[in-house]
């Protein structure tokens, strides 16, 4: 992602999507500023690593405490800049970060401790081996606007506790939250050059990918993810890419109708549907389909749409006019192709410019973009199926593979169906909350990206694994070194038979043949 020389500084503003109010104006970090930030990070990373894991845990625990103490202030900032209801800012942002910190701080010491590697082969019993988990160095993180705190913070805590320095480029739509994260970390004792925030647009992100970072963690669109992967490939820069989804919800004929319909409504409209784990495709058994659709329409019409700061609001605005237009185009195309708009399907200008009514669509098909492309808006498309096999086939008919859910009163059946759905996460009788289970990895297959965040697998993304082996007999020449002699091949055949032949007699004979190797007269 080569960045052209910048002839003049670019500026932009952060807006409140609910009111259009300008919150603050910014100047994009230039390529030179990005390179300088990465250089500073490299200069101090070894010192941060040398502090040791116990000291890093102490510092990050102070960050956790400060975030808990200032939860209301931070949540209000998230609501102001991202638009979501205050309760969602607390639940899906503050809580998620606090719990992710809990997991990382509890796990880091044992995770980073050298791990013994047992040697099963008899010929290797004189050796002692172990695995080391060492930091990459400087991790570049490019984070999205829809979860402006929980996404970068969970990744940053995992990177920092394992000894890395971090350079974060938050979305240009939510830079204030990224800066608040930096404030909290610095107040806790993380050195300023160990965690830095670069404010800017896509060109700033491209400059970060091109800089001398040691790994990039990106959350965003498939198109940008592909460009990052292409830019990283020539120098084998390791990447983690979380690129969104088109998550299916499968409602089997024995599901609880009231519970499943409530889940569908929340799963489709939480954060105005601007969640990579949102329900973007809902498949319902035909025997339940009419009642399910009716229940979803009724519950959707009861939602209170408004400004996130209002205490009664259940769904806030969309982040921008651009995102709203994508939603409109998907709905209008589906309507023209035969889908029924049962509620919603329009803007709500009486509330504000970026508000779109929560929308339920029936009779959608896989020929519509509303079912095949990521919409990222408050839309619940529902279609019927006849058999379990058909439901699984429909769920797997996608270029994405991030998350899915299965709904049934039979837990064993739900788990059986879950094994056949091709996504990184499948929840039975719940949805979205897998992201808040700090022990569970987050990530997907296909165009949903590569790598994982969260959990132990997320921590493993932040380290290089090194194998160290030490021989207990350092003065002993090894039998497999040079000085083979004419009988060496036969001796090795005997050794292989001694270990792997089927019958005891063959193994014994092989052992006797291989013993001659111990009497090698000449070794180089």
Active site members: 169, 242, 276, 374
Distance CA 198, CA 81 (A): 17
Q: Is the four-CA dihedral 146, 149, 154, 160 of positive or negative sign?
A: positive
288: left (phi over 0), alpha (psi -120 to 50) or beta: alpha
Question: Which residues partner with 130 through β-bridges?
Answer: 116, 468
Q: Are 11 and 108 in contact (CB under 8 A)?
A: no
Look up tokens 């990895």; give the residue: 441
Q: Are 109 and 57 in contact (CB under 8 A)?
A: yes
- Nearest-CA neighbor of 435 among 315, 328, 212, 275? 275
Q: Are 517 and 493 in contact (CB under 8 A)?
A: no
Distance CA 234, CA 299 (A): 51
Distance CA 362, CA 383 (A): 6
Q: Are 194 and 139 in contact (CB under 8 A)?
A: no
Torsion, CA 56, CA 61, CA 62, CA 68, rounded to 10 = 150
Strands (DSSP E) found in 347-501: 359-362, 379-385, 400-401, 403-407, 425-428, 445-446, 449-450, 463-471
Which whole-number Å values give the CA distances from 77 to 28, 305, 436, in the listed order?
Answer: 21, 19, 21
């Amino acid at each position: 992602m080569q960045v052209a020389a910048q002839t003049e500084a670019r500026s932009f503003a952060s807006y409140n999507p609910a009111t259009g109010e300008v919150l603050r104006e910014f100047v994009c970090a230039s390529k030179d500023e990005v390179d300088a930030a990465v250089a500073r990070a490299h200069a101090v990373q070894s010192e941060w690593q040398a502090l040791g894991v116990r000291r890093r845990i102490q510092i990050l625990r102070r960050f956790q405490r400060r975030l808990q103490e200032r939860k209301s202030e931070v949540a209000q900032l998230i609501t102001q800049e991202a638009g979501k209801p205050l309760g969602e800012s607390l639940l899906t942002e503050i809580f998620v970060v606090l719990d992710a910190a809990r997991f990382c701080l509890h796990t880091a010491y044992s995770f980073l401790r050298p791990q013994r590697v047992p040697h099963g082969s008899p010929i290797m019993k004189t050796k002692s081996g172990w695995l080391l988990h060492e930091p990459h160095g400087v991790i570049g993180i490019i984070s999205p606007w829809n979860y402006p705190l929980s996404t970068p913070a969970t990744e940053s805590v995992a990177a920092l506790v394992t000894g890395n320095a971090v350079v974060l480029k938050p979305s240009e739509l939510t830079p204030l939250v990224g800066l608040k994260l930096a404030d909290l970390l610095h107040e806790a004792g993380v050195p300023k050059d160990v965690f830095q925030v670069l404010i800017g647009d896509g060109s700033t992100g491209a400059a970060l990918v091109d800089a001398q970072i040691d790994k990039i963690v990106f959350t965003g669109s498939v198109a940008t993810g592909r460009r990052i992967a292409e830019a990283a490939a020539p120098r084998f820069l390791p990447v983690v890419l979380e690129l969104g989804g088109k998550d299916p919800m499968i409602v089997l004929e024995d599901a609880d109708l009231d519970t499943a319909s409530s889940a569908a409504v929340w799963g489709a409209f939480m954060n105005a549907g601007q969640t990579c784990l949102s329900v973007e495709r809902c498949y319902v058994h035909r025997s339940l389909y009419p009642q399910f659709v009716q229940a979803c329409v009724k519950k959707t019409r009861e939602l209170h749409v408004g400004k996130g700061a209002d205490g009664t609001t259940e769904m806030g605005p969309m982040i921008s006019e651009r995102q709203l237009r994508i939603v409109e185009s998907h709905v209008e195309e589906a309507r023209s192709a035969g889908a029924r708009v049962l509620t919603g399907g329009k803007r709500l200008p009486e509330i504000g410019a970026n508000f779109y009514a929560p929308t339920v669509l029936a009779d959608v098909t896989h020929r519509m973009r509303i079912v095949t492309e990521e919409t990222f808006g408050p839309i619940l498309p529902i279609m019927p199926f006849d058999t379990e096999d058909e439901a699984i086939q429909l769920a797997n008919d996608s270029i994405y593979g991030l998350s899915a859910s299965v709904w049934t009163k039979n837990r064993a059946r739900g788990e059986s169906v879950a094994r056949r759905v091709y996504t990184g996460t499948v929840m039975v009788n719940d949805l979205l909350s897998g992201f808040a289970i700090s022990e569970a990895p987050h990530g997907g297959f296909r165009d949903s990206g590569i790598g994982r965040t969260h959990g132990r697998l997320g921590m493993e993304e932040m380290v290089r694994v090194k194998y160290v082996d030490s021989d207990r007999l350092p003065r002993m020449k090894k039998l497999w070194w040079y000085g083979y002699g004419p009988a060496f091949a036969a001796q090795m055949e005997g050794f292989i038979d001694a270990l792997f032949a089927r019958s005891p007699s063959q193994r014994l004979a092989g052992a006797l043949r291989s013993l001659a190797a111990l009497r090698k007269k000449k070794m180089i």
